[in-house]
């Protein structure tokens, strides 16, 4: 069973969550996980101005995803930073190249799930994940979130990402906050949960 984690990260927060999601996937026997980045659409000049060139080097060795790879996965977890309450343009552009898969129904019945990050606590994590789900539903995917059986999404003793829609982290306005232990646990839970459901569907 193949589980694909496809993401975009500019400063490393989504990359870190993606690694935790992969750890969760690996907890399910027989699951094979692949980490993939979507292609960059910004020039190095723009990335430099955004202070992202150096940060991106840390995960430059993660292979760039092809559209075809989506079709051969049994489950796909998508990671995107919030951009004005929506998925980032790099992810949008990648998904807008999946028309051939849509025409063939290539993703119908596969499990799809989304995780995200934002600078601020209420900066659009839920809207990013929920609006992403629209694309997954157009592809006929079975949308899976982060159930409340991951009970630590209910904690209020510390600031934390994570909602029934998916795991998430709060990066801070300068990207200074790293994913917390609770947020990483949520990402692991999501990876394992998605994979467990996909395993049941593959057996049918």
Residues that bind ligand FMN (CB under 6 A): 9-14, 81-85, 117-120, 123-124, 171, 175
Nearer to ligand FMN, 50 or 108 (CB): 50
Mention every residue, 6+ apart, whose C-beta is less than 8 A from residue 85: 123, 124, 127, 128, 131
The residue with its CB nearest to ligand FMN is 123
- Please identify, using beta-carbon distances, which residue of 59 and 102 lies nearer to ligand FMN: 59
CA 182 vs CA 17, 40, 137, 194: distances in Å: 11, 29, 29, 18
Smallest distance, Å, CB 87 to ligand FMN? 10
State the alpha helices, DSSP H only, in the chain: 13-26, 44-49, 53-57, 67-71, 89-95, 99-104, 125-138, 181-203
CB of 204 to ligand FMN, least distance (A): 35
| Nearest distance in Å: CB 11, ligand FMN | 3
CB nearer ligand FMN, residue 16 or residue 139: 16
Question: Minimum Å distance from CB 196 to ligand FMN?
Answer: 26
Minimum distance of ligand FMN from residue 56's CB (angstroms): 9
- Burial tier of 124 (Cβ tally within 10 Å: 0-12, 13-18, 19+): middle
**Cα–Cα distance between 180 and 164 in angstroms, integer?**
18
Closest CA to 138 of 110, 102, 97: 102
Query: Smaller CB distance to ligand FMN: residue 9 or 182?
Result: 9
Which CB sits closer to ligand FMN, 84 or 158?
84
């Amino acid at each position: 069973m193949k589980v694909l984690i496809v993401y975009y990260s500019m400063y490393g927060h989504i990359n870190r969550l993606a690694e935790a999601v992969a750890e969760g996937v690996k907890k399910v026997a027989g699951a094979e996980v692949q980490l993939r980045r979507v292609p960059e659409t910004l020039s190095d000049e723009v990335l430099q101005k955004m202070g992202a060139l150096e940060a991106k080097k840390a995960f430059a060795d993660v292979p760039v995803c092809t559209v075809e790879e989506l079709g051969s996965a049994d489950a796909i977890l998508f990671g995107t930073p919030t951009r004005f309450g929506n998925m980032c343009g790099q992810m949008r552009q990648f998904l807008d190249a999946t028309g051939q898969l849509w025409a063939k129904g290539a993703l119908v019945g596969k499990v799809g799930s989304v995780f995200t990050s934002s600078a601020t606590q209420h900066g659009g994590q839920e809207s990013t994940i929920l609006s992403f789900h629209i694309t997954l539903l157009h592809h006929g995917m079975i949308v899976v979130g982060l159930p409340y059986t991951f009970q630590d999404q209910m904690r209020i003793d510390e600031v934390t990402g994570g909602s029934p829609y998916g795991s998430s982290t709060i990066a801070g306005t300068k990207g200074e906050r790293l994913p917390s232990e609770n947020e990483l646990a949520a990402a692991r839970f999501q990876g394992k949960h998605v994979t467990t459901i996909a395993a049941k569907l593959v057996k049918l």
